[in-house]
Structure 1
Amino acid sequence: MKYFAKKVTVLLFSLVLSANALAADSFKVCWSIYVGWMPWSYGDQEGIVQKWADKYGIEIDVVQINDYVESINQYTAGQFDACTMTNMDALTIPAAGGVDSTALIVGDFSNGNDAVILKDKSSLSDIKGQTVNLVELSVSHYLLARGLDTVGLSEADVNVVNTSDADMVSIFGTSDVTSVVTWNPLVSEILAMPNTNKVFDSSQIPGEIIDLLVVNTDTLNANPKLGKALVGAWYEIMGLMNGTDSKAIDARTAMAEASETDLAGYDTQLASTKMFYTPESALELTKSEALFNTMKNVAEFSFDHGLLGDGAPDAGAIGIEMPAGTYGDANYVKFRFDPTYMQMAKDGQL
């Protein structure tokens, strides 16, 4: 018993040392341009993030990364403590890479912002035999697969070409490119070109492409003040931008300009986004059985495309912890939907 107690003491001491090693007072958050993530740009510019960081005695550096996948790669490599990303990409990049990650903020789901676009064709079935440009193995790839299934096609019927989101608009303007899958604001820019048609979008799979702020789990556990500051800032921004008064219009105008569009263009993108302006609405999805089913589907797609790692035996190789239950290996949880901080915001505890 003494030996056992000594082992437990050493273990607990090691855990404390580990937590202390991760304790910090300066953090870095990265984001990329997307309608649902522009609030981070506004919150940074207007000092809202700074205000909440000051409240908890920490520093938060908010950094824009122009290439979406690169932003996630940098987060996964430990260069950032938090990063904006979708539910699927959180599973297939950091979690699949062994980085335990937590969805701190469930911000919205795409309700038409992600789309399959064809040139000179008006039906998704016309995509058969075409070369499709998209960010390979991202939610765009997932959307394509879900769309193809609705018209009795599969990925074997098309040729997928990996293309950076930073190049998507320019390459669609060339004669060789006839189909793309991408997200706003790129969708709006491409649809403004002649002879383009949106043939499938995320409104046809509502609630499956979810936009998140993901935080390194170990960092969050060692620094709850980071979670409080980020969530507090987020819902202050949500309250400012939602509505028709001058403050809301000014906020959305600033977000529009930062994403290189105008207020009308940004509001059009918001119309195809199911924003969770309140913690109550975010919690409803986070705690739902629907989220569990969505993540099961995402994990299965990811496994079928080899995105869970070479040694993954099945779709449940990586545990995904949710309020409705854990999908996959409960002994290897690397992706978590934690409602704790959103609940604090709902309860006025921030």
Structure 2
Amino acid sequence: MEQIQVKTETKSYPVLIGDGVIDQLQQVLEERVRDCSRILIISDSNVAPLYLDEVKSKLSGYQVNEWVIPAGETSKSIREYEKGITYALRCQLDRQACIIALGGGVVGDLAGFIASTYLRGIRFIQVPTTLLAHDSSVGGKVGINHTSGKNLIGAFHQPEAVLYDIHFLKTLPKKEWRSGFAEIVKLALIRDPDFYDYLEENVRSLPIEDEILTDIVKKAISIKAEIVGQDEREAGIRAYLNFGHTLGHAIEAESRYQSITHGEAVMIGMIFAMKLSEEHFKTKVFPEGFFTWVHQLGYSDWHATLNKGGLLLETMKKDKKSQENKIRMVLLKNCGDVILQTVEDSILTAELASYRTWLKTIAADRVAEK
């Protein structure tokens, strides 16, 4: 078992990582959620049949309720949030109660937001079950989507602990591995060139091999914890974690969260941001062999929503980093070196319009090199 301590201005809490760490749940509750009156486990329709009973079996002596939401991004909604609050009231949760989020990023975000607002805030524990949730379960950003955009309603509410059991990842489909690994690539690109080189050399297919999975997850969470520790409420460098997300979130929203996962959209967003970075800084930004590697892992660099440049631009303006109707994007100077930059609408319109032609040029150059 590996352990990382997340330290922010408001709280310090452990992240336990490894195969079988769910066995530590009762001990963590006793240490971190003292005098717990009742537990509400929130999970989804994919995860609950696989792991809910196993988690409940670790909670001897506690009064436990469960609430299962429909799997998928559409559950991060005002309607589902209201249902969760109503169910918590029906279960008579008080301020000594604890919510356990058992699932991926959607479950963690929704359950965390319910915990942050129910009775003005109660405690919660993250038990992520996807690779993607290595990112969303750490740092205390919780929330739901609005019809106008992703994560526009939310709060900062740190968990009491995170139990990241690698065992839970074994049932993930390959599409979810791609979704989660994109966020790991993001962390390497914005913060650690050596980590990027390690990933490119050692992860040649997905799922990630068991021998290196724990080490990779630990490194990714360590990077996230370091950034969150310096900037809990995204007043500075934490905004860099949104690399690839400005366009990525817009692609998700315009696809109605149906045809592409979060991480797959973020990968396209990162490619677009790096293209923009090369134009802005007049220098090479893409690591050698980047396209060959990500294509080998099954990522696409295109999605049908990119044909709707005008709609994407308007959706990007609703991004949380935008100011005075100006889009601010995280750009990459070099691997490990990023800035937050205001980008004019005219530039983004032109870059979106030329993106597909540019991809064809990149593909042709790769063929010529062979």
The two structures have a TM-score, normalised by structure 1, of 0.29
The two structures have a TM-score, normalised by structure 2, of 0.28
Instruction: Name the structure, 1 or 2, with higher relative contact order (CA <8 Å, separation 6+).
Output: 1
